[in-house]
Structure 1
Amino acid sequence: MDTILTVSQLKKVYGGRGSRTTALDGLSFSVSAGEFTGIMGASGSGKTTLLNCISTIDRPTSGVITVEGTEVTALRGKALSRFRRERLGFIFQDCNLLDTLTGFENIALALTILGAPAGEVEQRVRASAALLGLEKVLDKYPYQMSGGEQQRVAAARAIVGRPALVLADEPTGALDSKSAGQLLRQLDQLNREQGTTILMVTHDAFTASWCRRILFIQDGVLFRELRRGDQDRRTFFAQILGVVGALGGDAADVW
């Protein structure tokens, strides 16, 4: 299976000579095409810094990040902006939808930015919406949607440009349990049926149990890795809780 993402000896240090904080300390791992991988760790473990570096929001102090053979850490200026726009998809805890645009228009905006041919836009938007069960909200504005619907519109916007990698930062953090479950089922379906590669940061064991692999980070280094394999999700959930307990972190236990 092809490797989509490689993180090699990643280090991120904040502050100056008098006060330095090491958020990432030589972290290395890889993600293969079609994987659904979760990143977990206690507050301050470095998981958000890691996602920020992969998403090019932040620049590491040292180390190399490669996505589909492109060394992201070497890109600058327009090349970096183009890479971020064309090869990465983003789902944030806050949906970041534009209030003055309908669901259809919010999703289509990603294609407009990419410069997709006008004749392709409607078909691609409706196809992405269908994958996430959004056909009935395409004509609605965000204020007319539930929180779960808004987040699924954000997910459709993230995948409509056919990125190499979808990065999700606490995507269920602002949702109730029912809406969170709906979103996670749709992400799981995208991963299994469409082969979408997803890297998701979460503090929540229930959310993480939908992943196929979990990387646990502690003090900026890899603490442990869990693979779901053939286990059912309930068994995997229990394993995740065990590691979270060893890390001394908190995890929601809503099933």
Structure 2
Amino acid sequence: METILAVEHLRRDYGRRGSVTRAVDDVSFTVAKGEFVGVMGASGSGKSTLLNCVATIDTPTAGHIRVEGRDVTAMKARELTRFRRERLGFVFQDCNLLDTLTAFENIALALTIRKTPPGEIEGRVRETAELLGLADCLNQYPYQLSGGQRQRTAAARAIITDPALVLADEPTGALDSKSAKLLLDRFEVLNRQRAATILMVTHDAFTASYCHRILFLQDGAIFSQLERGSRSRRDFFREIIGVVTALGGDQSDVL
């Protein structure tokens, strides 16, 4: 199976000589096309730093990150900006929607920036919105949308350009349980119907149970990993809870 993401001996240090904090410590893993991979760990474990490095928001101290075989750690600023725009999609806890644009316009923005012919934009936006359950609210502004609708609009914007990799950082963190489940169900649809490759950071075992595989970080390094395989999401959830407990975490979420 085609490898979309390869992280090789990644390290990220902060601070100066004599007072250095190693946030990510010699992390290596791969993500295949169509995989839905979660990253979990306690606060300060390095999971968000890892995602920021993959997202090219942060610069690694050492190691390599390859997306579709291209080493993003070796790219110059202009090339990196273009690569980020064209091959990566982002869904963060803060939706970052533009308040002056409708949901339709927010989703279409990525296509407009890429100079997609106007005749193609409407069809692509409506198709993606349908997939995410947004067909009835495309003419509404962000302040008129629920938290879940805003987050699904952000997800639509992230995948509208068919990126190689979708990066999600605590996408359910600001949502109530019903909205979170709706978003995660849509992520499953994207993964299944669009073969979207997703790397998601989360602290929540319920959210993580939607993934195919979970990487657990501790002190910046990979502590262990779990694969869902043919197990039910309920059984996978219970196994995730076991690892979280071993890591010293506290999860009270239930299915």
Q: TM-score range by the shorter chain?
A: over 0.9
1:54-65, aligned counterparts within 5 Å? Answer: 54-65=54-65
User: SS in structure 2 opposite 1:125?
Assistant: helix
User: SS in structure 1 opposite 2:4?
Assistant: strand
Match of 1:237 in 2: 237
Match of 1:89 in 2: 89
Tell me if structure 2 keeps the 8 A contact 1:203–1:250.
no
Separation of aligned partners in 1, 2:72 and 2:120 = 29
User: SS in structure 2 opposite 1:119?
Assistant: helix
Separation of aligned partners in 2, 1:46 and 1:33 = 24
User: Partner amino acid for 2:245?
Assistant: G
TM-superposed deviation, 1:254: 3.2
Match of 2:73 in 1: 73
TM-superposed deviation, 1:116: 1.3
User: SS in structure 1 opposite 2:5?
Assistant: strand
User: Partner amino acid for 1:232?
Assistant: S
TM-superposed deviation, 1:193: 1.8
Separation of aligned partners in 2, 1:209 and 1:187 = 12
Tell me if structure 2 keeps the 8 A contact 1:169–1:200.
yes
Separation of aligned partners in 1, 2:251 and 2:16 = 33
Separation of aligned partners in 1, 2:250 and 2:168 = 20
Structure 1 runs of 4+ with >4 Å offset: none
Match of 1:179 in 2: 179
Match of 2:221 in 1: 221
User: Partner amino acid for 1:137?
Assistant: C
Match of 2:250 in 1: 250
Match of 2:150 in 1: 150
Deviations 1:30-67 (A, max 9, x none): 00000000000001111000000000000000000000
TM-superposed deviation, 1:78: 1.1
**Please, what is the CA RMSD of the aligned residues?**
0.7
Tell me if structure 2 keeps the 8 A contact 1:204–1:252.
no
Separation of aligned partners in 2, 1:89 and 1:63 = 22
Match of 1:209 in 2: 209
TM-superposed deviation, 1:139: 0.3
TM-superposed deviation, 1:148: 0.3
Match of 1:167 in 2: 167
What TM-score, normalized by structure 1, do the two folds share?
Answer: 0.99
Match of 1:98 in 2: 98
TM-superposed deviation, 1:252: 4.2
Deviations 1:165-212 (A, max 9, x none): 000000000000000000000001110122100000000000000001
Count matched residues: 255
TM-superposed deviation, 1:155: 0.3
Separation of aligned partners in 2, 1:29 and 1:251 = 26
What TM-score, normalized by structure 2, do the two folds share?
Answer: 0.99
User: SS in structure 1 opposite 2:192?
Assistant: helix
Tell me if structure 2 keeps the 8 A contact 1:39–1:214.
yes
Separation of aligned partners in 1, 2:160 and 2:252 = 31
User: Partner amino acid for 2:67?
Assistant: V
Unaligned runs of at least 5 residues, structure 1: none
TM-superposed deviation, 1:18: 2.6
Unaligned runs of at least 5 residues, structure 2: none
User: SS in structure 2 opposite 1:106?
Assistant: helix
Tell me if structure 2 keeps the 8 A contact 1:39–1:215.
yes
Tell me if structure 2 keeps the 8 A contact 1:42–1:250.
no
Match of 2:29 in 1: 29
TM-superposed deviation, 1:85: 0.1
